[in-house]
Amino acid sequence: MDVRFINAFLDATENVLKTMAFVEPKAGKPYLKKDNMARGDISGIIGLTGDLKGSLGLSFSEACIVKIVSNMLGESMTGIDNDVKDAVGEITNMISGVARKKLESDGLNITSAIPTVVAGKSHSIVHVLGGPSIIIPFEINEGPFVVDFCLDNGPA
């Protein structure tokens, strides 16, 4: 996996969450994920196409996303509801957009689909390319979340 991809998603995640939710996510060491199990209670997934093909997933623990959305909306959220689900889609879209902009400066033209949000314990994230994905683990004081992506920059 090209380190530019990892850095683009890492930087985009930190930038969006600091700016929109006023949290300081701490990144852990990226690793290869070989199963389809989501690493959180709610996930946003978005397809990517163009010079890179694949998908991006963000998977949040409930306590983590409740804090992020509470900060974004300026009101106290108590659990995963429709507002939180909508916010996960928006966060996924924003992080995808910032990462795509960063990769565009490296000469890669990438477009995205509309994000899908899946909630519930033990749900799956199946990337459009199948196979293993890269996980970048993050932590805020309230709990963990991950960026989970599977990309290919080979010929169509």
> What CATH code is carried by the domain that includes residue 77?
3.40.1550.10
The number of folded domains in the chain is 1
DSSP state of 25: P
- If one counts every other C-beta atom within 10 angstroms of the C-beta of residue 74, the result is 6
Range of the domain at 124: 3-152
Question: What is the reported pTM?
Answer: 0.94
pLDDT in tens, 53-107: 999 999 999 999 999 999 999 999 999 999 999 999 999 999 999 999 999 999 9
